[in-house]
Amino acid sequence: MKIRFALLVLLTLSVTPVSQADAAENRTSRFALVIGNAKYPDAEAPLKEPLNDVRDLATELKRDGFEVDVGENLTGDAMRRALDKLYGRIKPGSVALIFFSGFGVQSARQSYMIPVDAQIWTEPDVRRDGFSLETVLGEINSRGAGVKIALLDASRRNPFERRFRSFSAGLAPVIAPSGTLVMYSAALSSVVSDTGSDHSLFVGELLKEIRTADLTAEETLNRTRVAVTRASRSEQVPWISSSLAEDFSFIPDARPQTAPVAIAKPVDTAPRKDATPIAANPTPVAPAPAPVKPAETAPAAADAPRDEAKIALALADDPTVKSLNSKLAENPEDAGALYRRGQVYASKGAYALAIKDFDETIRLNPKDVEAFNNRCWARTVVNELQAALKDCNEALRLRPNFVDALDSRGLVNLKNGQSKNAIADFDAALKINPQLTSSLYGRGLAKQRLGATAEGDLDITNAKAMDPDIVKEFAGYGVR
């Protein structure tokens, strides 16, 4: 039900004052850290793809003028040392690139790269042992790199998520500095199974496109996205987000002849392979929604417009929002930028602004299932329940087994007083992802309201054990 964000290539304009001569000289300095983690003790077998992928990518990057450090099967201490070495090499105006292949986990709306010796049993363990992509990017940015590139091929099913998942699988969206190009090997909050082959589909297509001359980095990655989507028959759709402030090409002597490509959020319409199709509405919904009980709605809801005005004012200086505003000033119909800005607004609590951006995204692409789901969730939080229900139903019509939309519609029905319908939706979501804490907790509340106290208490206890913050999360949605 949450707003989600995903592989990351980042290019950030340095905030450190540099003379034009020094900047031009340092921009020729290219540094890369490529990490392939394959042997995780918690996994049933080593991953076959990461080591071959990092070796081939390192060879290509060296050909393109990068000084490359390669890390294989790095522990937490080794990853920290490798990152510190990269940070220390960065000069104002230089290029810094990080690539990670292995297991990634999202927690608290951030994506974490996992070392091979991580001991993860609860969600706090992710933040203790993992390396936050946002933190890494922030550190690279603070060192003054003129161009930052980070790539994550980590949207894999992993052994950690099954233990505690309170959010969707896969990777989360990234709030990155201005001048950033972000790419994941799969869509936000989605996963792809390790194929068991020697190379990943994503890296294979990326290497083909990097070798194409006269392309900007944006064009290279967008062509990679298209190639992966086509080769996988839409089962794997990489995710890209861009706020580039200058042109950059992987091939040093390339002279781009075209403006950077506007990269829109890909729409993954392929059904999940591990799911059973669910009907658009498994249980009949009453034509008119029941009024929300006062006890179910947070007391602060009436103050939301005033709070949102403050949030909107604060977000005016947010680097990501400013960059997206600039892109939209150039092209008001950039659906990718509108969707991304809506995600940022919603993640910060500016729901009215988020809904407006999702409105525009859907106007431009009436089949954008992610936008329908996110608008459903945002409308639910602000108690626009009838409109939210329509959005969730449309998302499920477009993608019948979309677990996030089932989870979102369960919340709609819970707030609407439709407890039986809520249970049906949460049951369907849990059938696809048994560790989805929000559905487990929501189902517990719905069961309690129907008088099944013992069953509801069990669901709630299990959800709280998996995520101690779940009660606070639902309170933020106006549900207690």
pLDDT at 168 over 90: no
**pLDDT higher for 179 or 441?**
441
pLDDT at 175 over 90: no
133-137, 232-236, 288-292: least confidently modelled range: 288-292
pLDDT at 464 over 50: yes
Q: What are the pLDDT digits (tens) for 397-407? A: 998 888 889 99
- Report how far residue 176's alpha carbon sits from residue 257's, in angstroms, rounded to the nearest whole number: 27
Residue-range domains of the chain with CATH: 20-242 (3.40.50.1460), 294-476 (1.25.40.10)
Residue 254 has a pLDDT of 53
Quick one: pLDDT band at residue 28, thresholds 50, 70, 90? Answer: low
- Report how far residue 100's alpha carbon sits from residue 68's, in angstroms, rounded to the nearest whole number: 13
Strand-strand pairing, 104-107 and 181-184: unpaired
Q: What are the pLDDT digits (tens) for 197-208? A: 778 999 999 999
**pLDDT higher for 176 or 61?**
61
Structure-token pair, residue 370: 């992610």
- Longest CA–CA separation in the chain, Å: 73
pLDDT at 60 over 90: yes
Average pLDDT over residues 167-192: 77
Residue 16 has a pLDDT of 37
Task: Write the secondary structure of the chain as one string of H (helix), E (strand) and C (coil).
Answer: CCCCCCCCCCCCCCCCCCCHHHHHHHCCCEEEEEEECCCCCCCCCCCCHHHHHHHHHHHHHHHCCEEEEEEECCCHHHHHHHHHHHHHHCCCCCEEEEEEECCEEEECCEEEECCCCCCCCCHHHHHHHCEEHHHHHHHHHHCCCCEEEEEEECCECCCCHHHHCCCCCCCCCCCCCCCCEEEECCCCCCCECCCCCCCCHHHHHHHHHHCCCCCCHHHHHHHHHHHHHHHCCCCCCCEEEECCCCCCCCCCCCCCCCCCCCCCCCCCCCCCCCCCCCCCCCCCCCCCCCCCCHHHCCHHHHHHHHHHHHHHHHHCCCHHHHHHHHHHHHCCCCHHHHHHHHHHHHHCCCHHHHHHHHHHHHHHCCCCHHHHHHHHHHHHHCCCHHHHHHHHHHHHHHCCCCHHHHHHHHHHHHHCCCHHHHHHHHHHHHHHCCCCHHHHHHHHHHHHHCCCHHHHHHHHHHHHHHCCCHHHHHHHCCCC
Residue 161 has a pLDDT of 64
Residue 103 has a pLDDT of 92
Average pLDDT over residues 60-74: 93
Average pLDDT over residues 262-273: 33
Q: What percent of the chain has pLDDT over 70?
A: 78
Q: What are the pLDDT digits (tens) for 270-324? A: 333 333 333 333 333 333 333 333 333 333 343 444 466 677 677 777 777 787 8
92-101, 114-123, 413-422: least confidently modelled range: 114-123
Residue 244 has a pLDDT of 67
Q: What are the pLDDT digits (tens) for 346-367? A: 877 888 999 999 999 999 999 9
Average pLDDT over residues 178-182: 72
Residue 360 has a pLDDT of 94
pLDDT at 19 over 60: no
Residue 478 has a pLDDT of 86
Residue 196 has a pLDDT of 65
pLDDT at 159 over 90: no
pLDDT at 343 over 50: yes
Residue 389 has a pLDDT of 96
Report the mean per-residue pLDDT for the chain.
79
62-66, 167-171, 198-202: least confidently modelled range: 167-171
Residue 281 has a pLDDT of 36
311-325, 327-341, 372-386, 418-432: least confidently modelled range: 311-325
Average pLDDT over residues 178-193: 79
- Among 110-124, 156-170, 256-270, which range has the highest average pLDDT? 110-124
